[in-house]
Structure 1
């Protein structure tokens, strides 16, 4: 039977059930990275933690995730009443009676034959009326193996053009090899041979375009200065971005908040002359060397120094790192281990370019007040706050689609595992267009933590010194208890002993009575003589 190459076919849902979510992930006809491509239902009611999923609800498999405890989870979308959707996480070990739902998606012959999961399934021709008969595709000719030679491999080459004029040989390049090409190789047309598997690092629209067989335009490749940024945790959770230095929006600085003296020290080491205001009262702890701080007091960080702290009962003095700050006309010493609540004092209301801000010390808290006009939609505009954490240099390949050659996005070489080949197709323009570059890329939490694994870790704050143990001469004597307290406590113990029974030694022990409200935690313990007298009374 002959079909046009561009004909599409619908997948026929199987009647056999899946027993676990893990079976669905492993046996579903398309990869989990094909977002929204597999829908299923459960015939029985499911309970996940405190959430109950009714039987018969349709679930669409979106992606795979790994929890912090190492448990593998499947993120699924559920459509409720009034077409309202919600996402839930299902553990792969979840058991039930799951059935595949019929999908309206059409597959081309190339997609079917290039997938080992699809090639063994049944299809119907979407162009035929009444859905058509069931079809199973089998290749007539199939390449048994594809050998890829690294571009750096030294081989003996023999010209076989005359014998094999109908064959076209391609040279696959990884992203690293593309980035190593000379500048005169660009711009050029390229075809994606193997797209990136799954989407673990990017939350952006261009990633979905990196599919096998897709034509792209490669404009240039160069090291680019990028800024890693994050937002405070909000309703949508914490968001992460990498921003190019060419970002055209304007920002205002926001006052930073600090939760300890050590954080003040780190900030002051990068921004000398740091001034803060105390936002929460701190009581004085003399033996720890911590002074009292009142709300509204203004502090200016001066320097860090080592100071003697009161010694222990052996009389040995201890050296403690302290931050010297100016408070009005006096200098005070704040131990680095001291907790506190401070907010930075800012005196300007100026709008800054991103390049001006990164020339100073990072991190900085900012708010975008003017969007980048070169972007169709600036994802940073409207965010309540943005923290510019650090800068790094990344090799980027400037890319666009042939349908929109002037709208470019940058592919980070280190974070994309894909292969391409250069083609001889003509560039989609007669005259080089003015390029509009996506300068903001939203990344995932996994990208954020994987990046920090590659760079040096942030210094941990110094350990809190042990509290000084007062000598025996300094220990205050406890005041004698009043007659009423002693009598009340003795009566409580006597009442407990009266309730005991000699014949019930193997039963459960009666709970201890609660201490009186006006008695301290130093409980009364009857002497041996008193216990003997009590037993005689029994």
Structure 2
């Protein structure tokens, strides 16, 4: 073997160096090449070939035909006798290729000499040949054996160099040349080495002297996950993937080369929730397991655009919000929108389309303005809704809204996922008892962003069996090697941390997953018009500028609604936003009166606004 040889056959690259120790673990038959000994032609047959093969040559060779006939007579063999020559035989009438079966039918006297009358059968025609007994060989007696299947004929060591005949093949005789693929393992090589049997390389069998050698075969966590066990599996880290860390935890620094781990199996359940904190300048991000046992309470969601409101609207679930920011109708190309003030209450109805100021259709959100009087009359079954109370918000409309809700129930994470859609804002009101260091209750609010379906492996440190965590092989694919288990390990699976903080870089990697990419981007606002466009617009007909919504023009598309403005529970609920709505609406007029007086520098309305924001 050369000092270092690289072979590539059929796309398989194999690098072998002098002294490499290889352990053959499996031999697979790939194909069988059949060769015609007379013409040299070849054909390939599959290992599952259904034909049967009969061996042709006997165990002994003869120098001349006379020796062949004499040996047959001594053994009381009767004519005819089958034989073949390992060399080409040339006669006056034709040439007989080597290894071509012949049939010796009789011995005849011809002009004082003896010659053998032989028959050459080519399956298409028979030829009579007269060969002198002095004809030199060597010759092999043809002794057809019992027909055998292909695999049995190849596995018999006594038939390794024999000629065969097969009735289903076009040749009278043929040589079988099997081609195998050797699957072997080598030191510190993760994949199986596949070596074709046709590779010409010098090897030495050292099986007897190498029984004590243990081959180290690296494994990836993804490979352990794919094969599904057996668990628990003691391992040692050989290599860690490059790049920045993806988790922030005490166990992250322990994942170094040489660290022993115990892989306990697949984590259950297989889903995680990506969570971001609320109420801080720099948000933190967590991945929460579906097995989290803390208790959560829903918080009012915040919406910055009308597109966010549309995304939160679910069939059969009313969505009511309170405006937390004043907004005038200037620059909004929707005829059904005038203005919004802090404290205005809206009920989101559906999406629709409206005719814009320039005659183009724009996507809008149809909302219903709720009044305090409607809240007081919530016991009535239906209430006539006037078209003037409807507000059409373009989907690009930017403002600030807070969800109006009254839900004091305590949910588990599983129940919350079953009843509500994401994203969802919550507050952890009871931490998980099995996780004393649960960081989630310390935050004023959490945003549950997306459900991630990805298999995780439960892993613990050999040096600290109580530190048990979950690793996603997709993003943290360690290279490990199997080891022997250490005595004294605790039986069973230790408690697993169900909350893991992730780095900002990994958080944005998760945000690029297909589950997030399916979310459509928010619509763009229309391009602003220049001074010339404003002059042209000012000269346009006022009726075209304030054209009504197409749904309002056609009664079947937007009929007058009969609806219950508030649920029964809203009458007795202590809703913060409902209580302050009247005060804020009074504040709107106070603000207007103050701003009309240019000499008033006290600006008392700012203090009131600050109080209102603190109340929220």
TM-score normalised over the length of structure 1: 0.55
Partner of 2:477: 417
Equivalences for residues 66-85 of structure 1 within 5 A = none
Equivalent pair of 1:196/1:210 in contact (CA under 8 Å): no
Q: How far has the Cα of 1:152 moved from its partner?
A: 8.5
Q: How far has the Cα of 1:305 moved from its partner?
A: 0.5
The answer for unaligned runs of 5 or more in structure 1 is: 1-144, 312-316, 477-538
Q: How far has the Cα of 1:295 moved from its partner?
A: 1.7
Q: How far has the Cα of 1:366 moved from its partner?
A: 1.1
The answer for unaligned runs of 5 or more in structure 2 is: 1-185, 198-202, 371-384, 541-616
Instruction: Measure the CA separation in 2 of the matches of 1:408 and 1:334.
Output: 50
Of residues 199-208 and 364-373 in structure 1, the stretch that sits farther from structure 2 once superposed is 199-208
Distance 1:209 1:340, change over 3 A: same
Distance 1:167 1:472, change over 3 A: closer
Distance 1:151 1:297, change over 3 A: farther
The alignment covers a number of residue pairs equal to 324
Partner of 2:524: 463
Distance 1:207 1:196, change over 3 A: farther
Residues 1:369 and 2:429 aligned together:
yes
Partner of 2:220: 174
Residues 1:438 and 2:479 aligned together:
no
Q: Deviations over 1:327-356 (max 9, x none)?
A: 134322111122211101111111111111
Q: How far has the Cα of 1:279 moved from its partner?
A: 1.1
Partner of 1:284: 329
Instruction: Measure the CA separation in 2 of the matches of 1:192 and 1:158.
Output: 33
Distance 1:216 1:283, change over 3 A: same
Distance 1:434 1:216, change over 3 A: closer
Instruction: Measure the CA separation in 1 of the matches of 2:537 and 2:520.
Output: 40
**Post-superposition, which runs of at least 4 consecutive aligned residues in structure 1 deviate over 6 A?**
154-159
Q: How far has the Cα of 1:261 moved from its partner?
A: 1.2
- Which of 205, 208, 224 is 1:162 aligned to? 208
CA RMSD of aligned residues (A): 2.9
Distance 1:164 1:303, change over 3 A: same
Equivalent pair of 2:456/2:471 in contact (CA under 8 Å): yes
Residues 1:229 and 2:275 aligned together:
yes
Partner of 1:150: 191
Q: How far has the Cα of 1:177 moved from its partner?
A: 0.6
Partner of 2:395: 336
Equivalent pair of 1:283/1:291 in contact (CA under 8 Å): yes
Residues 1:218 and 2:260 aligned together:
no
Equivalences for residues 56-67 of structure 1 within 5 A = none
Residues 1:379 and 2:439 aligned together:
yes
Instruction: Measure the CA separation in 2 of the matches of 1:147 and 1:181.
Output: 20
Partner of 1:391: 451
Equivalent pair of 1:217/1:427 in contact (CA under 8 Å): no
Partner of 1:453: 512
Partner of 2:299: 254
Equivalences for residues 491-530 of structure 1 within 5 A = none
Q: How far has the Cα of 1:464 moved from its partner?
A: 1.3
Distance 1:160 1:205, change over 3 A: farther
Q: Deviations over 1:120-149 (max 9, x none)?
A: xxxxxxxxxxxxxxxxxxxxxxxxx96514
Instruction: Measure the CA separation in 1 of the matches of 2:221 and 2:416.
Output: 31
* Secondary structure of the corresponding residue to residue 451 of structure 1: helix
Residues 1:306 and 2:348 aligned together:
no
Q: How far has the Cα of 1:292 moved from its partner?
A: 1.1
Equivalences for residues 175-194 of structure 1 within 5 A = 175-183=221-229, 185-194=230-239
Q: How far has the Cα of 1:240 moved from its partner?
A: 0.9
Q: Deviations over 1:390-444 (max 9, x none)?
A: 00111211111234435421111111132111123246447x2353111111110
Distance 1:435 1:271, change over 3 A: farther
Distance 1:429 1:234, change over 3 A: same
Q: How far has the Cα of 1:199 moved from its partner?
A: 3.8
Instruction: Measure the CA separation in 1 of the matches of 2:205 and 2:462.
Output: 33
Partner of 1:327: 369
Partner of 1:119: none
- Which of 381, 402, 414 is 2:462 aligned to? 402
Q: How far has the Cα of 1:372 moved from its partner?
A: 0.8
Q: How far has the Cα of 1:371 moved from its partner?
A: 0.8
Equivalent pair of 1:189/1:423 in contact (CA under 8 Å): yes
Instruction: Measure the CA separation in 1 of the matches of 2:483 and 2:351.
Output: 61
Q: How far has the Cα of 1:222 moved from its partner?
A: 5.0
Q: How far has the Cα of 1:306 moved from its partner?
A: 0.9
Distance 1:154 1:389, change over 3 A: farther
Residues 1:297 and 2:297 aligned together:
no
Q: How far has the Cα of 1:213 moved from its partner?
A: 1.3
Distance 1:363 1:153, change over 3 A: farther
Instruction: Measure the CA separation in 2 of the matches of 1:397 and 1:275.
Output: 42
